[in-house]
Amino acid sequence: MMEDQPRSDTNKNSGLMLDIINVKKSFGELEVLKGIDLQVQRGQIVSIIGSSGSGKSTLLRSINHLETIDSGEIWLDGMRVNQPDMKGLAFERHINSVRQNMGMVFQQFNLFPHLTTLDNVRLAPIKIKGMAKPEATEYCMELLEKVGLADKADTFPAHLSGGQKQRVAIARALAMQPKVMLFDEATSALDPELVEEVNQVMKQLAHEHMTMLIVTHEMNFANEVSDHVLFMDQGVVCEQGPPSQLFTNPKEERTKSFLKKHLEQQ
């Protein structure tokens, strides 16, 4: 029997937004995720840190099924994301519905170059949510105001800086009114002087209690914005806890070594 109904212990009243249970993923012989467990509460900001190749981005991409996991369970607000018994068009409809509730921001901006800033942001609300154009315009202009780009509504991506493009990408993700935002190294492709303008938008979302899962290499940012931090190493969660504990008094030697190296660089 397919588990397409909300579970009693992860229903919408429980406060649990994401429930990741024993998730495993391999690429050929390479085990990338070796049984990941993670719970994210509604309104919680969780940062994932770790070296390149530790499985951080694969975990994030698995949550909205950009990567197909080998085993385990992923639940969003009481609804199972991966449906191993569901095939074909039924599963495609299911996963498209799930993705409407997950906003994802990548390293690269992936904006449509032939569309203005406003058109990039309002395309999905009109096409997918069926929002009327005047309503979508008003709503998306509010989002552009939120990310500080209302004056760039008619500008094409080629005339935006990297930081501006990423802020448009964030507004575009927010336009679908997602339940959770996933950030995959959202500032790693930016010049250092542009990083803070994107971080400020993410800090504002944190202040508004948007549920967020953030893969980041910026330790200071993770320390400042997170409620909870995971340190991943070689496909496992090596250590996790509140930033006040993990950054100042890590227990595992691998965590200590990683933080010593990266905090010195920053």
Q: Mean of the pLDDT values across residues 105-116?
A: 93
Q: Mean of the pLDDT values across residues 182-209?
A: 91
For residues 99 and 81, give the distance between their C-alpha atoms in angstroms, rounded to a whole number: 9
| Weakest mean pLDDT among 55-69, 80-94, 96-110, 237-251 | 80-94
For residues 86 and 42, give the distance between their C-alpha atoms in angstroms, rounded to a whole number: 27
Q: 219 near 225, Cβ under 8 Å?
A: no
Read off the pTM. 0.90
pLDDT, residue 85, reads: 76
- Residue keyed to tokens 């927010």: 174
pLDDT, residue 3, reads: 38
Q: Which two tokens stand for residue 100?
A: 């409407």
Residue type, 102: M
Q: What is the pLDDT of residues 136-174, one digit of tens each?
A: 999 999 999 999 999 999 999 999 999 999 999 999 999
* pLDDT for residue 2 is more than 80: no
Q: Mean of the pLDDT values across residues 220-246?
A: 94
pLDDT, residue 189, reads: 85
CA angle at 168 for the pair 211 and 216, rounded to the nearest 5°: 50
5: confidence class by pLDDT, cuts 50, 70, 90: very low
**Cα 112 to Cα 109, 122, 166, distances in angstroms:** 9, 12, 13
Q: Report how far apart the first and last C-alpha atoms of the chain are (Å, whole number).
A: 51
